[in-house]
Structure 1
């Protein structure tokens, strides 16, 4: 069955009044928004399943019908990102943000893409836009992403602020707590660092999260600070065994702790 027939069948079953894009059926200049949404949803489902060819076909149907339909443009950008076509991904992300300059979700996706390309200054700007919408359901994640970005361009004060915004909105954000602990250790504020690490430890004990390179590196430093060399050694061994190529393990070796 062709994609066109599949979508038409899907529409007839699930969406009353949904139709394919046919100029003979639609009044001139009028676009069926439900069909746009259906093509886009189907395209994103294909993308999640790893079928980028079908995803492109479906999303392109929506984009051709309405070249300014931001969700489809965002979807195509994500498809090209998955296919490792960064120039095309960038083009479609830019078109999507221009089509809907108020979409926190699109700016978050674009920021994540720029981050993956190590275009950190641009990534921070896009991620900052994604935090502006107070109704964005992933706003805590967006603040966390922005904080990680700020750290990479040496804006630690700004990073501290947005990490705190993240844990205010979502008190159990693991990465934000570890990043804050790391920042406070760098500032010589070990007691504050320990408070954030304790929240991470509670989730670890409840088996709701697991260690990663930075959590182990922070653990090494806190254990040393509290005078617990055996615990520091345990964290260091895990860091060496699990993340031997990490930046954190390189820092551990460089410090000679």
Structure 2
């Protein structure tokens, strides 16, 4: 799943998004974690992360250059570089920087999560799933539900619906009220013809978050399958009014329900 020391997301986003300098000198390899230069690198990286969240890529890159100048062994800066380059479709630079972040800290599960999502979105499903698995083997990883959800989406892209469902359910068990995971699981159930469970999950999503183009489009197709034309029309009306420029609204207008 976007976005961010995160991924999906990105996300959810993913994880849900990040550069250029990838070769750190050996003179700072043993620099103390709490040194002034490390603190400056962290501060600049935090700023870059914030600018990335607002899609201000140029400013984010400027902050990352400052971070690397302060401490070119600070792995999280390369992670954000990778996210930015991923958003810019600079795949070679994105991969170089994700790999550099992991090289500097093999236990950086967030970098592995982001790299895994990058690989999955480029059709390298098995490599991506391996990165998620490695991230999840770290007992200190603070956001395992994110890697589990991304692994579920990656497995679905690969066509392994059983693995996709298993990972999404694990993620939801750790974070039961995550609307992004709920809607992804609802969509997976819909694809498998489990309409009652889809309806339940869609209802739960509605309790937790405002409707999205994705949830409304799923509602349209679900109610169409269930034969409730009134509810189908209600979902469709909301989709056209709230998200008129979305891909989902275009599919609705074109009658592309499958």
TM-score by length of structure 2 reads 0.71
**C-alpha displacement at 1:147, in angstroms?**
1.8
Q: CA RMSD in A?
A: 3.1
Q: Distance in 2 between matches of 1:41 and 1:147?
A: 31
Structure 1 residues 101, 239: CA separation in 2 closer, same or farther (over 3 Å shift)? same
Which one has more relative contact order, counting CA pairs under 8 Å at least 6 apart?
A: 2
Unaligned runs of 5+ in 2: 1-26
Q: Between Structure 1 and Structure 2, whose CA radius of gyration is higher? A: 1
Which residue is equivalent to 1:164?
A: 169
CA shift digits 1:66-105 (9 cap, x unpaired):
4xx4334334434555666432231121122233222211
Q: Is the aligned partner of 1:104 residue 2:106?
A: no
Structure 1 residues 155, 216: CA separation in 2 closer, same or farther (over 3 Å shift)? same
Q: Distance in 1 between matches of 2:107 and 2:226?
A: 47
* Of 68, 71, 74, the match for 1:62: 71
The question of whether the paired residues in 2 share the 8 Å contact of 1:80 and 1:89 is answered with: yes
Which residue is equivalent to 2:3?
A: none
* Of 141, 147, 156, the match for 1:142: 147
Which residue is equivalent to 1:190?
A: 195
**C-alpha displacement at 1:200, in angstroms?**
0.8
Structure 1 residues 235, 104: CA separation in 2 closer, same or farther (over 3 Å shift)? same
Unaligned runs of 5+ in 1: 1-25, 204-208
The question of whether the paired residues in 2 share the 8 Å contact of 1:190 and 1:222 is answered with: yes
- For 1:1-257, list aligned pairs within 5 A: 31-35=31-35, 36-47=37-48, 48-49=50-51, 50=56, 51=59, 52-63=61-72, 66=73, 69-78=74-83, 80-81=85-86, 85-115=90-120, 118-121=122-125, 122-203=127-208, 209-241=209-241, 242=243, 245-246=246-247, 250=251, 253-255=255-257
Q: Distance in 1 between matches of 2:83 and 2:71?
A: 15
TM-score by length of structure 1 reads 0.71
Q: Distance in 1 between matches of 2:83 and 2:41?
A: 12
Q: Distance in 2 between matches of 1:149 and 1:160?
A: 11
3-state SS in 2 of match to 1:33:
coil
Q: Distance in 1 between matches of 2:147 and 2:29?
A: 37
CA shift digits 1:160-186 (9 cap, x unpaired):
111101110000111221222222222
Q: Distance in 2 between matches of 1:238 and 1:128?
A: 39
